[in-house]
Chain A
Amino acid sequence: MKLAVQVNEGPYQHQATDSAYHFTKAALEKGHEVFRVFFYHDGVLNGTRLTTPPQDDRNIVKRWVELAEKYDLDLVLCVAAAQRRGLVDEGEAQRNGKDATNIAPKFRISGLGQLVEAAIQADRLVVFGD
């Protein structure tokens, strides 16, 4: 079955992103296709490569990246939410004159259309948030 996942909350603030990760992982391990994980609102904070959590804590960003590398997941940050919160890729840095990028590998920045497309293409959309 084809699934899509929406994450509305940032890491370490609320359990939503942990729940979303464990759900996505379980679905992939069961052999389901995850068409896209769309990060919205504070959820875009899951996509910064500059986090350094304590060594004995889970690394939420790295965990997403590793899952994406293993299953070729499409991890998409909402562009308007990303701009507000300072999540920057090469394209955004050029467009908005920023001096750095901070997006984690395997993540990309795109528009809300990607969420709509995921909802249409997938058999089920599962939402995690606060």
Chain B
Amino acid sequence: MADLHTVNKSPFEKNSLEAAIKFSLAGSSILLIEDGVYGAMKGTVAEDMVKGALGDRKVYALKSDVMARAIKADRIIDGIELVDYTGFVDLVEANDKVQAWL
């Protein structure tokens, strides 16, 4: 059973990304939206944690929120896929449940 976990907080502000990674099961997906997209950046203290999750989970970031924060594509951790709102809808459809880590 695959779940979609949405994270809308910066990992430097709250521990919701850490919680989402800790509680999500292998095969599930994590979507970073709003300030959550800061967790997709290379070279931060959260990078190793996110890379660890990429082993058996998929990690996505909402493209418009990445661009709104002036994070360039080459600063995104390898393996993280950028999606638009249509991609967000597709992820909701593809997974059995959606859990928002607010």
Contact = CB atoms under 8 A, between A and B. Distances in A.
Contacts of A23: 85, 88-89
Interface stretch (A25-33, A44-52, A72-80): A25-33
Interface size class of B (residues with CB under 8 A): 10 to 19
A83 interface: no
B93 interface: yes
Interface stretch (B20-28, B38-46, B71-79, B94-102): B94-102
B92 A126 contact: yes
Contact of A1 (B64, B65, B93): B93
A127 B33 contact: no
A17 to B, nearest CB: 11
A16 interface: yes
A126 B100 contact: yes
Interface residues of A, number: 21
Contacts, number: 48
B89 A127 contact: no
A125 interface: yes
A3 interface: yes
A25 B85 contact: yes
B8 interface: yes
B34 interface: yes
A40 B65 CA distance: 24
A19 B86 contact: no
A16 B93 CA distance: 20
Contacts of B93: 1, 32, 124
Contact of B100 (A29, A30, A128): A128
Interface of B: 6, 8, 33-35, 64-65, 84-86, 88-89, 92-93, 97-98, 100, 102
Interface of A: 1, 3, 8, 15-16, 19, 22-23, 25-27, 29-30, 32, 124-130
Given A26-B86, A26-B88, 7 more contacts: A8-B102, A15-B65, A19-B8, A25-B85, A30-B86, A129-B102, A130-B102
